Amino acid sequence: MHFGENSTRAVRHRDEDAKTRSSYYGSDQGELGLAVVWRSLRVLQDCRDSTYAMCNTSHGARMTRRVAYQGEPGAYSDLAIRQHFGEDIIGVPHRSFPDALQAVVAGDCDLAMIPVENAIAGPVHVALEAMREAGDQLVHVDEHRLVIVLCVLGVPGAMLATVQRVRSHPVAHAQCRIFAARHPWLTVEVHADTAGAAREVSECGDPTVAAIASELAAERYGLEILVRGVQDVPHNWTRFLVLARG
């Protein structure tokens, strides 16, 4: 997709995004969050079609791309990569957003898939800050909007009634505040990554510990979905930017 087409699509979504966020936060905070995101997007909008084309062969057949992302296999960024590019890619996990971006700058990966905004939680500030620090070393070549379905995952045989602790990334917890309020016996634990939390639940084998993560994470780590769709609003999404070296 050419950047002009991508920009038109992004602008077309802005009004509906503002309505979604304003209904959750109140108009001032919703508009402020959007302003932060779109200022960052404008910094990255000076890109060239040739940058994206560098990931293709001279005959138009796509090479296997290496796409950097923050998190562990099974993370929502991993799922966004699979949806956006199909199976002809290699997703490369990194511990942090700066690490994922540096992999592209250094040429170790062709692209990065970075979340910048969620319909409920708002701007992903840590990702935006990492992008600002990278500056003009990276350019925005595409974007992907992923429908986010948050699931409570437990080891086989576990039940929600016996779960005592739920761990996940802070942004995921922020999207599930109604669920947490309705289940006050659950202790919320913060983890660096949704998929990493799922992996740890699988490794510990404790039926009193659960994770909030994706169905992909459940499949990858052999967990059962105890509750599907615990996000505060049904129309939940995260916007990702695809970045390439400038």
Q: How does pLDDT run across 66-109, given as a tens digit for each residue? A: 999 999 999 999 999 999 999 789 999 999 999 999 999 999 99
- Of 20, 51, 194, 238, which residue is the catalytic one? 238
Is there a shared CATH topology between the 3-147+235-245 domain and the 151-228 domain? yes
Domain ranges of the chain: 3-147+235-245, 151-228
> Is residue 238 among the annotated active site residues?
yes
- Of 3, 97, 179, 240, which residue is the catalytic one? 240
> Is residue 240 among the annotated active site residues?
yes
Interval 142-154: pLDDT, tens:
999 999 999 999 9
pLDDT band at 63 (very low <50, low <70, confident <90, very high): low
Domain 3-147+235-245 class in CATH: alpha beta
Full DSSP string of the chain: --HHHHHHHHHHHHHHHHHHHHHHH-HHHHHHHHHHHHHHHHHT----HHHHHTTB-TTSPBP-EEEEEES-TTSHHHHHHHHHHTTSEEEEEESSHHHHHHHHHTTSSSEEEEEEEETTTEE-HHHHHHHHHHGGGEEEEEEEEEE---EEEE-TT--GGG--EEEE-HHHHHT-HHHHHH-TTPEEEE-S-HHHHHHHHHHH--TTEEEEE-HHHHHHHT-EEEEE--SSSSS-EEEEEEEEE-
Interval 197-241: pLDDT, tens:
999 999 999 999 999 999 999 999 999 999 999 999 988 999 999
Q: What is the CATH number of domain 151-228?
A: 3.40.190.10
pLDDT band at 4 (very low <50, low <70, confident <90, very high): very low
